[in-house]
């Protein structure tokens, strides 16, 4: 007596539905993460022009300090006072001595406010705070 394979049994197969679901979830995750990261740099701040302006790069540990035309200091979407900024930067430098800071000041703002923000960064121990500008033209 020969024992054979039944003809109507299907072979092993891979379900595509869960794989497609995971691909869509990953796609949505990366789209949302990228959009959130860019929102920090898309505040309504008109940067001054400079000949040596470089491309804006975001580093993983970089703190971005925005100063709008009214002189309000905004970090991570939250408005801060000078004292709160001083505490935030000092804590960040304490954790990471190589802390990077970018200051984005509105071009119509008096430079005194920007100078105070840069002074806070230097006093907290930031080696070289970066002042963002846009290229001429």
Backbone angles phi, psi at 39, to 5 degrees: -60, -30
Give the angle subtended at the CA of 93 by the CAs of 92 and 96, to the nearest 5°: 85
Mean pLDDT by 10 residues, the chain (137 residues): 63 86 92 67 68 51 87 90 93 88 89 90 89 78
Query: pLDDT at position 133, please?
Result: 80
Backbone angles phi, psi at 63, to 5 degrees: -100, 130
Spatial separation of the C-alpha atoms in residues 18 and 31, rounded to whole Å: 20
Query: pLDDT at position 103, please?
Result: 92
Query: pLDDT at position 4, please?
Result: 61
SS3 of the chain: the string is: CCCCCCCCCCCCCCCCHHHHHHHHHHHHHHHHHHHHHHHHHHCCCCCCEECCCCCCCCCCCCEEEEECCCCCEEECCEEECHHHHHHHHHHHHHHCCCCCEEEEECCCCCHHHHHHHHHHHHHHCCCCCEECCEECC
């Amino acid at each position: 007596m020969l024992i054979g394979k039944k003809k109507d049994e299907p072979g092993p197969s891979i379900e595509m539905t869960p794989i497609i679901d995971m691909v869509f979830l990953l796609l949505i995750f990366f789209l949302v993460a990228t959009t959130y990261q860019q929102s920090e740099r898309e505040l309504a701040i008109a940067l001054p022009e400079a000949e040596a302006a470089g491309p804006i790069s975001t580093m993983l540990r970089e703190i971005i300090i925005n100063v709008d035309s009214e002189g309000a200091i905004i970090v991570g979407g939250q408005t801060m006072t000078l004292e709160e900024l001083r505490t935030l930067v000092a804590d960040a430098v304490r954790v990471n001595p190589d802390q990077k800071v970018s200051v984005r000041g509105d071009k119509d703002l008096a430079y005194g406010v920007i100078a105070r923000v840069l002074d806070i960064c230097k006093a907290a121990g930031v080696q070289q705070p970066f002042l963002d500008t846009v290229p001429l033209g």
